[in-house]
Amino acid sequence: MKIVLSVLTAVVLMVHAGAQSHYPGQHEGKFIVKDKLIPAVYSFDLQDVKLLDSRFKQNMEREQQWLLSIGANNLLHSFRTNAGVYSGNEGGYSGKKIAGWESLDCELRGHTTGHILSGLALMYASTGDERFKTKADSIVKGLAVVQQALNQDGYLGAFPQELINRNIAGQPVWAPWYTLHKILSGLIDQYLYCDNRQALDIASKMGAWAYKKLRPVTAEQRSQMLRNEFGGVNESFYNLYAITGNADYKWLGEFFYQNETLDPLKEGKDILEKKHANTYIPKLTGLSRDYEIEGKGGGDSIAAFFWNTVIDHHSFVTGSNSDKEHFFKPDDQSGHLTGYTGESCNVYNMLKLTRHLYEHTASMKYTDYYEKALFNHILGQQDPATGMVAYFLPMLPGAHKVYSTPDSSFWCCVGSGFENQAKYGEAIYYHNAADLFVNLFIPSELSWKEKAIKLKQETNFPADGSIKFTVEATKPAGMILNIRYPSWSVAGATVKVNGKKVSVKNMPGTYIVLNRNWKNGDIVEVNFPMTLHLVATNDNINKAAILYGPIVLAGEMGTTGFIAPQPYSNPQLHNDYYTYDYHVPAGIPTSLLISGAKLSDAIKPVAGGKLAFKTVKEGIQLRPLYDIHRERYVVYWDIK
Ligand SMILES: [Zn+2]
């Protein structure tokens, strides 16, 4: 989301990010309206997947500290001020609202509180740690008091309702429904993951208020107001409908169908150029959710067309998209290697959409993308030194990740980041009645309650391609174990069950299927050899990134020319991430001499270095982009 001007004169600007959603198979008992769609595969609940030690778990632990360190009273401050409720001074409360975008006098106030409610819900589900629930409970209680005090038929916000009225009247406002979406979504997550009934009650009242507010809106007003960014509020209303059975909320979900942007997709037209990416993406997740509930409709094919268009024509090798938040001309990646590529909220939302589409089809292209974007973008979004997160993933040669600060940012991507780092367990495993699907190679332990089976996954991936699974079962159980044979594993695969080699007849891009009666202590070992390869931009075959398996390698370029507070955002400037001066020094190498040589001759592993390589001619060190922090890098090279 872009902040460039005085908020008082704010033109219609676009915000982002999405809601946390229900997925088929999760929280079954909490939905009155059951999904009519029978998906190909179901998610596991986050509670069923525990992360074992890895970089993912370490990211999650840093995130936990950050989540717990922000005071509940500070998160409630703007809401209370808006309602004229005394903020109190208990518990060392500083009496301050939180900073950065949250301190601006505009309708973004409160977005962080919504994301944090989702983040705490996901973290509680992922860990079972009561501290996350206790903290969330106190925020929800505070919001209930505010909603009551506002006494406006259920309206709840940290900004005056007048801004919603202005939005409906077609007057310039920013993105009020975007922020309300984060709050609604956070409350729904509190109900789904933490069983907080008060949160559902607040959300239902917000829904009743919204229905009353929007029911009289004319078609013309509606089309005007939907031009503002509204996040995934349609998805939240569909979820609220499925949870409560109240058809008013379904009407609200449909109200937020924007014909202008969605109808052309129905006709297979790529009209994405110049469109604000993160305004667009969550609209499709809402459509997918509607399709799941109804079991019919065009939502799924529109979403799938959109997804394919973004992935095939508008994305970088990292799975990120956009330049300065906007989609560019199809296939024009090489013209957009700037310091402002790949907004993190976009990836967060693409991954949400990907999960929906994968569950409908079990198609491998979705899992390939999920892995690519998770490892190359989300995992590296967080600075391991501080736990702060980056807004963009710059493709400008010699640029670096720019991290938020604890007390001056609270950008949209900080908000979606609270969720990203809390739900690494969500897409590792899927299942249907008889099959278990292993899609991601992340150290973890799955508990499949219906089968009374546990599966432990141990791996150093992506340092190498070996993965070991151990079955824990109180009595032998039938299960078809499907292990993803990734598309990048072109050098084959080896599989052993209890030490015995199993012949693999499949091709990469399918599942390796092991159908057995599994007993306690059974061990499956797989190995997917990883190889170096180039991935060129769509528009220039000689402009390419280097990958090892699915992992994007980047050239390490040091910190020459850094001027404090580089690589962090400037606390004096809210929009520093958007006009950041990278001070890229002259002479950053951007070409590699590879032509004629085999890649494995031109790039050699560094002895003893985990996932470190060196180019033979230029002597440039290459490491995973996710692991390059607080230093300059190059991703795309001119290949000579
Ligand atoms: Zn963002």
Distance 123 CA to ligand 1 centre (A): 20
Distance 17 CA to ligand 1 centre (A): 6
Distance 16 CA to ligand 1 centre (A): 6
Distance 122 CA to ligand 1 centre (A): 19
Express each pLDDT in 284-311 by its tens digit: 999 999 999 999 888 899 999 999 999 9
Is the distance from CB of 561 to CB of 583 less than 8 angstroms? yes
Distance 182 CA to ligand 1 centre (A): 13
H or E, element range at 438: strand 435-438
Distance 347 CA to ligand 1 centre (A): 9
Q: Rounded to the nearest 10 degrees, how much is the dihedral formed by the CA atoms of 245, 249, 255, 256? A: -110
Confidence of residue 85 (pLDDT cuts 50, 70, 90): confident
Instruction: Report the pLDDT value the prediction gives residue 100, as an integer from 0 to 100.
Output: 87
Instruction: Report the pLDDT value the prediction gives residue 107, as an integer from 0 to 100.
Output: 86
Q: Which residues pair with 51 in a beta bridge?
A: 444
Distance 322 CA to ligand 1 centre (A): 12
Cβ neighbours of 29 (radius 10 Å): 6
Express each pLDDT in 365-392 by its tens digit: 999 999 999 999 999 999 999 999 999 9
Distance 529 CA to ligand 1 centre (A): 35
Distance 281 CA to ligand 1 centre (A): 12
Distance 336 CA to ligand 1 centre (A): 18
Average pLDDT over residues 246-259: 98
Distance 33 CA to ligand 1 centre (A): 32
Length of the chain as a residue count:
640
Nearest to 179 by CA among 202, 203, 158, 210: 158
Distance 391 CA to ligand 1 centre (A): 6
Which runs of E-coded beta strand occur in 370-409? none
Distance 349 CA to ligand 1 centre (A): 10
Q: Which residues pair with 535 in a beta bridge?
A: 545
What is the Cα–Cα distance from 604 to 614, expressed in whole angstroms?
Answer: 5
Distance 571 CA to ligand 1 centre (A): 18
Confidence of residue 105 (pLDDT cuts 50, 70, 90): confident
Distance 80 CA to ligand 1 centre (A): 26
Contact residues for 375 (Cβ-Cβ < 8 A; gap 6+): 462, 550, 551, 624, 626
Confidence of residue 610 (pLDDT cuts 50, 70, 90): confident
What is the Cα–Cα distance from 606 to 31, expressed in whole angstroms?
Answer: 53
H or E, element range at 135: helix 130-150
Nearest to 338 by CA among 381, 390, 391, 399: 399
What is the pTM assigned to this prediction? 0.95
Tell the residue number behind the tokens 């390589």, with chain if given. Answer: 613
Segment among 103-107, 221-225, 410-414, 440-444 with least mean pLDDT? 103-107
Distance 574 CA to ligand 1 centre (A): 13
Distance 602 CA to ligand 1 centre (A): 38
> DSSP state, 375?
I
Distance 412 CA to ligand 1 centre (A): 4
Distance 394 CA to ligand 1 centre (A): 14
Contact residues for 608 (Cβ-Cβ < 8 A; gap 6+): none
What is the Cα–Cα distance from 459 to 30, expressed in whole angstroms?
Answer: 35
What is the Cα–Cα distance from 249 to 89, expressed in whole angstroms?
Answer: 38
Amino acid, single-letter form, for residue 332: D
Neighbours of ion ligand 1 (CB under 5 A): 16, 343, 345, 412-413
Assess whether pLDDT exceeds 90 at residue 346.
yes
Can you read off the two tokens belonging to residue 536? 């060129």
Distance 580 CA to ligand 1 centre (A): 16
What is the Cα–Cα distance from 578 to 514, expressed in whole angstroms?
Answer: 49
What is the Cα–Cα distance from 537 to 534, expressed in whole angstroms?
Answer: 10
Distance 345 CA to ligand 1 centre (A): 4
Q: Output the CA–CA distances (angstroms, integers) from residue 586 to 397, 565, 615, 622, in the order listed.
A: 11, 20, 20, 20
Distance 116 CA to ligand 1 centre (A): 15
Express each pLDDT in 52-84 by its tens digit: 999 999 999 999 999 999 999 999 999 999 998
Assess whether pLDDT exceeds 60 at residue 12.
no
Distance 385 CA to ligand 1 centre (A): 21
Distance 323 CA to ligand 1 centre (A): 13
Nearest to 212 by CA among 176, 259, 161, 146: 161
Distance 480 CA to ligand 1 centre (A): 40
Is the distance from CB of 539 to CB of 615 less than 8 angstroms? no
Distance 361 CA to ligand 1 centre (A): 29
Average pLDDT over residues 344-358: 97
Distance 528 CA to ligand 1 centre (A): 34
Distance 343 CA to ligand 1 centre (A): 6
Instruction: Report the pLDDT value the prediction gives residue 14, as an integer from 0 to 100.
Output: 32
Distance 585 CA to ligand 1 centre (A): 28
Instruction: Report the pLDDT value the prediction gives residue 3, as an integer from 0 to 100.
Output: 46
Assess whether pLDDT exceeds 60 at residue 19.
no
* Reduced DSSP (H G I as helix, E B as strand, rest coil) percent helix, strand, coil of the chain, to 5: 40, 20, 45
Distance 228 CA to ligand 1 centre (A): 16
What is the Cα–Cα distance from 153 to 182, expressed in whole angstroms?
Answer: 19
Instruction: Report the pLDDT value the prediction gives residue 573, as an integer from 0 to 100.
Output: 76
Average pLDDT over residues 419-423: 97
What is the Cα–Cα distance from 199 to 212, expressed in whole angstroms?
Answer: 20
